[in-house]
């Protein structure tokens, strides 16, 4: 009787057992749902961090609208309705600033807690892919910021829609009462037909003290020359006097989610790179509230492309018009999605703006992942 030894090829063709399948899942570079859920639970268990996020994003909306509603109920003759286009714009901008700071703090915590708690070595020993460990932090953190921002912005939209005064039927600008929804050519024709009203209204026509006695021909020449600036003032006054349309609110909500999501991703990447939560948070807060406003408001000769490379400048150019209504004129030029940035420098081309935004997202995510993969356990 003879026996036949099983061949190596036959052994390899056998289906892998449960242990082998588990090992392949653990070593995969894509994070599993369980890994993402575990990281999300770890973030949510940090009560101080979660309270900070809610206080920075949700609390200002609740506090301001709560007080305005209360004042209106107590004394409706002295205090108007709680909602208004200006309050909507101011709260949206406040949400963007505070939300970015909160997202940076969350990203820095997500990128450094395993190191500071001494858990990174234990996670690596389990055999899980380091890249998967990093990538799991992205959906886990966004699952915290996205609903919080959506809740605060939904309250802002609801109060503005249902607790605002009826929309005006005209635009008031420098003492002139103008029809709504004029384009640049329509505004120019309207003013040229009424040169005396335009001259005495206080429009920036450059006529000086001679405005009341200027001839119609001179007034029309000044209108033709300065129509670009006059139209910017007209559109800003029109936006600030009317509630944003539904599509404009949707643009603002998406812009806020993008802006705060970028803050989280940059904080996560820089936190993973430095391994220092405090250093990361302070650096990015300084970038947001000090460096970016300075560089976005002043054109530096021979450094304009460097200014445009900041994420805050690119996002400022993408900022929807409903958020820029409180900034004099809204900034230079009509921009993507009908927005007007609050910038003091010439806007960059649309492709360059998109490249800056995508570059910051991919760049910092790649840097953070690379540092985690190469970090000594």
**Residues 331, 3: Cα–Cα separation, whole Å:** 87
Q: Domain-by-domain residue ranges, the chain? A: 22-167+242-374, 170-240
Backbone angles phi, psi at 329, to 5 degrees: 80, -15
Residues 141/43, Cβ–Cβ less than 8 Å: yes
So what's the pLDDT on residue 332?
Answer: 37
**Residues 332, 348: Cα–Cα separation, whole Å:** 11
Residues 84/160, Cβ–Cβ less than 8 Å: yes
Backbone angles phi, psi at 339, to 5 degrees: -85, 165
**Residues 129, 28: Cα–Cα separation, whole Å:** 6
Contacts 24+ apart (CB under 8 A), 188-197: 188/223, 188/224, 188/227, 188/231, 191/223, 191/227, 191/230, 192/220, 192/223, 192/224, 195/219, 195/220, 195/223
Backbone angles phi, psi at 275, to 5 degrees: 75, 10
- Number of CB atoms found within 10 A of residue 143's CB: 15
Backbone angles phi, psi at 369, to 5 degrees: -65, -40
**Residues 203, 176: Cα–Cα separation, whole Å:** 9
SS3 376: coil
pTM over 0.75? The answer is yes
For residue 26, give the nearest of 16, 38, 17, 35 by alpha carbon: 35
Backbone angles phi, psi at 17, to 5 degrees: -80, 175
Residues 257/318, Cβ–Cβ less than 8 Å: no
Per DSSP, 31 falls in state P
**Residues 22, 11: Cα–Cα separation, whole Å:** 19
- Number of CB atoms found within 10 A of residue 322's CB: 26
DSSP, residue by residue, 62-73: HHHHHHHHHHHH
10-residue block means of pLDDT along the chain (377 residues)?
A: 44 47 59 89 92 95 94 87 87 94 95 75 74 92 96 94 77 76 81 74 65 72 78 74 81 95 96 92 93 85 87 90 55 38 76 95 95 80
Residue spans of beta strands (DSSP E) within the chain = 170-173, 176-179
So what's the pLDDT on residue 120?
Answer: 67
């Amino acid at each position: 009787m003879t026996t036949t030894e099983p061949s190596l090829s036959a052994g390899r063709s056998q289906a892998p057992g449960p242990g082998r399948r588990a090992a392949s899942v653990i070593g995969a570079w894509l994070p599993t749902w369980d890994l993402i859920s575990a990281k999300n639970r770890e973030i949510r268990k940090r009560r101080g961090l979660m309270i900070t996020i809610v206080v920075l994003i949700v609390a200002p909306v609740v506090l301001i609208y709560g007080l305005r509603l209360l004042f209106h109920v107590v004394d409706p003759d002295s205090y108007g309705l709680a909602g208004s286009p200006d309050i909507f714009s101011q709260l949206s901008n406040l949400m963007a600033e505070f939300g970015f700071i909160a997202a940076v703090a969350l990203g820095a915590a997500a990128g450094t807690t395993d190191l500071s708690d001494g858990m990174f070595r234990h996670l690596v020993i389990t055999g899980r892919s380091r890249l998967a460990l990093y990538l799991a932090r992205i959906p886990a953190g966004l699952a915290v910021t996205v609903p919080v921002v959506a809740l605060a912005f939904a309250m802002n939209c609801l109060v503005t829609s249902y607790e605002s005064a009826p929309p005006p039927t005209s635009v008031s600008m420098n003492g002139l009462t103008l029809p709504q929804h004029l384009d640049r050519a329509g505004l120019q024709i309207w003013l040229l037909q009424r040169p005396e009203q335009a001259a005495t209204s206080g429009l920036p026509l450059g006529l000086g003290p001679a405005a009341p006695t200027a001839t119609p021909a001179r007034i029309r020449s000044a209108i033709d020359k300065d129509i670009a600036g006059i139209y910017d003032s007209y559109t800003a006054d029109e936006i600030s006097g009317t509630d944003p349309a539904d599509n404009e609110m949707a643009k603002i909500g998406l812009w806020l989610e993008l802006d705060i999501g970028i803050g989280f991703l940059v904080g996560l990447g820089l936190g993973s790179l430095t391994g220092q939560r405090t250093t990361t948070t302070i650096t990015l807060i300084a970038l947001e509230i000090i460096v970016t406003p300075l560089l976005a408001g002043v054109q530096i000769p021979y450094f304009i492309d460097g200014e445009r490379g900041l994420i805050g400048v690119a996002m400022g150019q993408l900022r929807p018009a409903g958020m820029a209504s409180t900034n004099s004129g809204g900034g230079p030029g009509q921009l993507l999605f009908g927005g007007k940035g609050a910038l003091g420098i010439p806007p960059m081309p649309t492709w360059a703006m998109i490249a800056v935004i995508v570059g910051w997202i991919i760049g910092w995510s790649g840097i953070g992942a690379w540092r985690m993969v190469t970090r000594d356990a």
